[in-house]
Structure 1
C-alpha cells in the first residue's frame, strides 16, 4: 500500500509543478488554488507512504520520481529534451533503484 501512496504523492507533485507554472506568479487564482490543493494532497499521500518508508529514502524517491515525471511531461508538450537531460534522468532513475535496493521498504 505504501507504494500506492507514493505513486499518488508523485502524481500530485507533478500537478503542483504544472499548476504553479500556470499560476502566473500566483496572480491567477484558479491555478493558485490548484497548486495549493495539489501540494496538500501530495504531502498527505507522502505522509502515509512514510509510515513504511524511511523518511530520507521515501522523500528522495518522491522528489526524484516526480522530477523525472515533470521533465517527461514537459518534453511531451514541447520542451526541449537533449542528451544532458536524458543523462540526468538516467542518473536519477539509477539513484532511485539504488535507494530501493538498499532495503528501505
Structure 2
C-alpha cells in the first residue's frame, strides 16, 4: 500500500509543478488554490508512505520520481527540449531509485 501512497504523492507533486507555473507567482487565484491544494494532497500521501518507508528513502524516491515526471511532461506538453544531457540525468536518477529499492530500505 505504501507504493500506492507514494505514487499518488508523486502525481500530485507533478501537478504542483505544473499548476505553480500557471499561478504566475501566485497572482492568479484559481491556479494558486490548485497549487496549494495539490501540495497539501501530495504531502498527505507522502506522510502515509513514510509510515513504511524510511524518511530519507521515501523523500528521495518522491522527489526524484516527481522530478523525472516533470521533465518528461515538460517535453511532452510544453515543447521543452530533451537533449542527451537531460536524458543522461534521467537515467542516473532512475538508476538511483532502483538502487534505493534494491537496498531493501522500504
Alignment TM class, shorter chain as reference: over 0.9
TM-score by length of 2: 0.98
1:34 aligns with 2:34: yes
For 1:43 and 1:81, the matched residues in 2 are separated by 28
Quote the offset at 1:57 in angstroms: 0.2
Partner SS for 2:64: helix
For 2:105 and 2:38, the matched residues in 1 are separated by 26
For 1:24 and 1:56, the matched residues in 2 are separated by 31
Aligned length: 105
TM-score by length of 1: 0.99
For 1:70 and 1:14, the matched residues in 2 are separated by 6
For 2:90 and 2:29, the matched residues in 1 are separated by 32
For 2:12 and 2:32, the matched residues in 1 are separated by 14
Per-residue CA deviation, residues 41-100 of structure 1 (Å, 9 max, x unaligned), is: 000000000000000000000000000000010010211110000000000000000011
Unaligned runs of 5+ in 1: none
1:73 aligns with 2:73: yes
Residue of structure 2 in register with 1:61 after alignment: 61
For 1:3 and 1:101, the matched residues in 2 are separated by 14
